[in-house]
Structure 1
Amino acid sequence: MKKMFLMACAGRGVIPSSMAAPVSDTELPISEQLRILSETGLWDFVDRIPVDDKQLDEYLAASEKYGLPILSGSWTYVLGQDEHVMASNLERAYRVGSKYHNLMIWSKHADGHYVTDQEVADSYLRVYDQAKKYGIKVSYEGHVDMWSEDFRRVNKVAEIVRKRGIPFHFCMDYSHCIFKIGNEEEHAVSQMRGDAEAIRRLDPFNPDSFADDWLNQNMVTWAQVRPAAPNGPRNWWAFETGPWDGLGYDRPGRGIQYPFSKPNPGEWHTEAWHAHALACTRELVKKVIDHYLSVSDSSMEIMTIDNINLPSYGTGWRYNMFADSCLVGKFVRELYAERAAVFEAKRKAHSEKAFVDQYRP
């Protein structure tokens, strides 16, 4: 059977929250985070970039102690302002041993204009060259508040990059599509209101969804999996400034995260939890796994489980967010074993038929 891709829990998700200690910006010491990750036996590596040299030393010490490499990290960047941050993050990622760095490019340039497809592609090409000397694979992500929140733009940028003879590596976090299903306000934020075809393609149950398109182009290097629900409920326990074009008023967190199992009373801001709401998330994981298994040269290399502690995600929630991430991780591993067995059985059946057919009169 084909060996499974590597899997990690997002660094912002290593929070064993509870009624007494809700999800917040306060995180455990780095050594404690890696100890908890190691004890589950679920995770292959750590997904987090050190913010400074002190953290870098702490990560290196904990990584050696618990046998978990720091292979990936993500960061958000403003074009025209954060190019030096990109360079320093890549250098620090190299020093901690990372092999992957994911970049989220904000929708607005430092001078206030909305970044163009060409500007995004040019930034990708620059950082691709910078990362190459460190042996780091960079990816750009489909993400709210970023250039790619209009998901139709992803292919346009990818095509510009490929015309320069450079592969476009994409980080697919499909929760950013799933939570918009059935939400007209979110369709408008994505600039897709009125485009019925694009709205339809948000749904991963469609065979020509955005997910299918990106997977079929074999450009998904990194899959981020966050449990999400169509028209996910807003997080009334955390507020943020929005919307993304900077009008400056506060709103409850956007509903990009959904509990993978039913919270106990008082652990979540609404009692309206439904298991069926996670069907899109489960279907998306199945599609990622099936594509990985069926394509011999699949670009897919890593997956991170991305429950995190930000307002549009889990801030304020009182269930155990890390335990929820572990449930998602177990689901992925179990589904992978099931799908791999199916693919292996089909492969053997095909080989046996081919063997028999060569002797058939």
Structure 2
Amino acid sequence: MKFPFSLGCNGRGVVHIEGTPMTVDQQFRLLKSAGVYDHFDRMPQPGEEREYLDAANRHGIPIRTGLWWYTAGQDEALLEKNLRISREGGAEFHDIMLHIRHQRGSVLTDDEIVAFYELAHNLGNKIGIEIGFENHIYMWSEDPRRVEPIARKVQARGMPFKFVLDHSHVLIKVDNPEEQDIIGIREDVDSGALLLDPYESGNVLDQWMNLNMVHWLQVRPVSPNGPKNRWAIKNNNSYDGGSYGRPCQYPFIKPKPGEWHSSWHAYRVEPCKEVVRRMLRHHLCNASSPLRYITTDMIDMADYGENAKYSLFEQNVAIATWIRRTWDEMVDQEAANRARGRDSKQEGARE
């Protein structure tokens, strides 16, 4: 079976070392040279739509996805502007990260979240671009308990809830009381009311997959109780996690000595791999699966890979290569299982 997804790379990771000056054309050329990507995950900056579109056509790497973050009560006009910019740059899907607080300072209510989704959905239909909501730190969806209720309220209004799954923002809280306390979920984790561990039956990631609402999977390894980014100091130390960058990125392949601030162990990448395997298996076994986009998201921000000396792009390419290989192996295994099943039936008929 042909690889059925469009595999893209987050624009902040189409660079080897953070801060290296690169033109739009150079980024597209680098992406093309890897030989593993189908699209560029990037929202063009205002005024650069034509430059991005020309580079996409020149290198045969379209922009299909992009993202931005928004504050309700403040950024409704920005949302429409960004949807138009994205569409003009060739994008098909816009990922919306909606901040946990309204512009007036209060935590968003369910109704306010649903209203913003409905606005985005209607604007997207008018402009000709799909929209989705992502689970993400600092956003309403950092609390995983809120995702399914919001999804069901959106669906109750007659709209599909299109979900962008970033499992790293769940795995960051596994075996990490400090991260759990940031969003107030430690009591539920301790009691078993909220299961974060992807290896535990009934965990929240499996629940989201089983709702069959994931349209876009973002892949970035995070280690349970992993190290903070000690090489990045937050400019705005307004959250409860300390001044270092939060532990939201763990290298997929082993960095060379001096390229990273912490020791690296292969087993710490396995939870990420297991979630990806389950998402791919869900798609393979469910004809109605809406999953269409997968992106690799090793990036350069403080909570991620800021000041890292390993190549962000090489890490992303390694993830993309692994995803394609894993899919092919899964398809081959499924075909072998079907063949064995047919052979068993034929053997039984002869008996």
Q: TM-score normalized by structure 2? A: 0.95
* Structure 1 counterpart of 2:133: 140
1:255 matches 2:247: yes
Q: Retained in 2: the 8 A contact 1:99–1:137?
A: yes
The CA distance in 1 between the partners of 2:334 and 2:191, in whole Å, is 32
Q: Retained in 2: the 8 A contact 1:152–1:198?
A: no
Quote how far apart the aligned CAs of 1:198 are: 5.7
Quote how far apart the aligned CAs of 1:355 are: 6.7
156, 175, 178: which one aligns with 1:163:
156
Q: Retained in 2: the 8 A contact 1:237–1:252?
A: yes
200, 205, 222: which one aligns with 1:211:
205
* Structure 1 counterpart of 2:306: 315
1:184 matches 2:177: yes
What percentage of aligned pairs have identical amino acids?
36
Q: Count matched residues.
A: 349
* Structure 1 counterpart of 2:237: 242
The CA distance in 2 between the partners of 1:199 and 1:146, in whole Å, is 21
* Structure 2 counterpart of 1:88: 81
* Structure 1 counterpart of 2:11: 11
The CA distance in 1 between the partners of 2:346 and 2:102, in whole Å, is 60
Q: Retained in 2: the 8 A contact 1:151–1:190?
A: no
Q: Retained in 1: the 8 A contact 2:222–2:250?
A: yes
The CA distance in 2 between the partners of 1:355 and 1:299, in whole Å, is 35
269, 277, 289: which one aligns with 1:286:
277
Aligned letter for 2:44?
P
* Structure 2 counterpart of 1:66: 59
Quote how far apart the aligned CAs of 1:133 are: 2.4
Do the aligned partners of residues 255 and 151 (structure 1) sit closer, same or farther apart at CA in structure 2, a change above 3 Å counting? Answer: same
Q: Which runs of 5+ in 1 are unaligned?
A: 18-22
Quote how far apart the aligned CAs of 1:2 are: 5.5
Aligned letter for 1:201?
L
The CA distance in 2 between the partners of 1:360 and 1:84, in whole Å, is 70
The CA distance in 2 between the partners of 1:138 and 1:147, in whole Å, is 17
Deviation digits for residues 225-269 of structure 1 (CA, Å, limit 9, x no counterpart): 001111121111111123448xxx971100100111221121111
Secondary structure, aligned partner of 2:15: coil
Secondary structure, aligned partner of 1:162: helix
Aligned letter for 1:173?
D
The CA distance in 2 between the partners of 1:189 and 1:332, in whole Å, is 32
The CA distance in 2 between the partners of 1:353 and 1:243, in whole Å, is 62
Quote how far apart the aligned CAs of 1:349 are: 3.7
* Structure 2 counterpart of 1:221: 215
Q: TM-score normalized by structure 1? A: 0.92
Deviation digits for residues 288-319 of structure 1 (CA, Å, limit 9, x no counterpart): 11011010111111000001110000010001
The CA distance in 2 between the partners of 1:331 and 1:258, in whole Å, is 16
Secondary structure, aligned partner of 1:42: coil
Quote how far apart the aligned CAs of 1:341 are: 0.9
* Structure 1 counterpart of 2:103: 110
Q: Retained in 2: the 8 A contact 1:104–1:143?
A: yes
The CA distance in 1 between the partners of 2:338 and 2:49, in whole Å, is 45
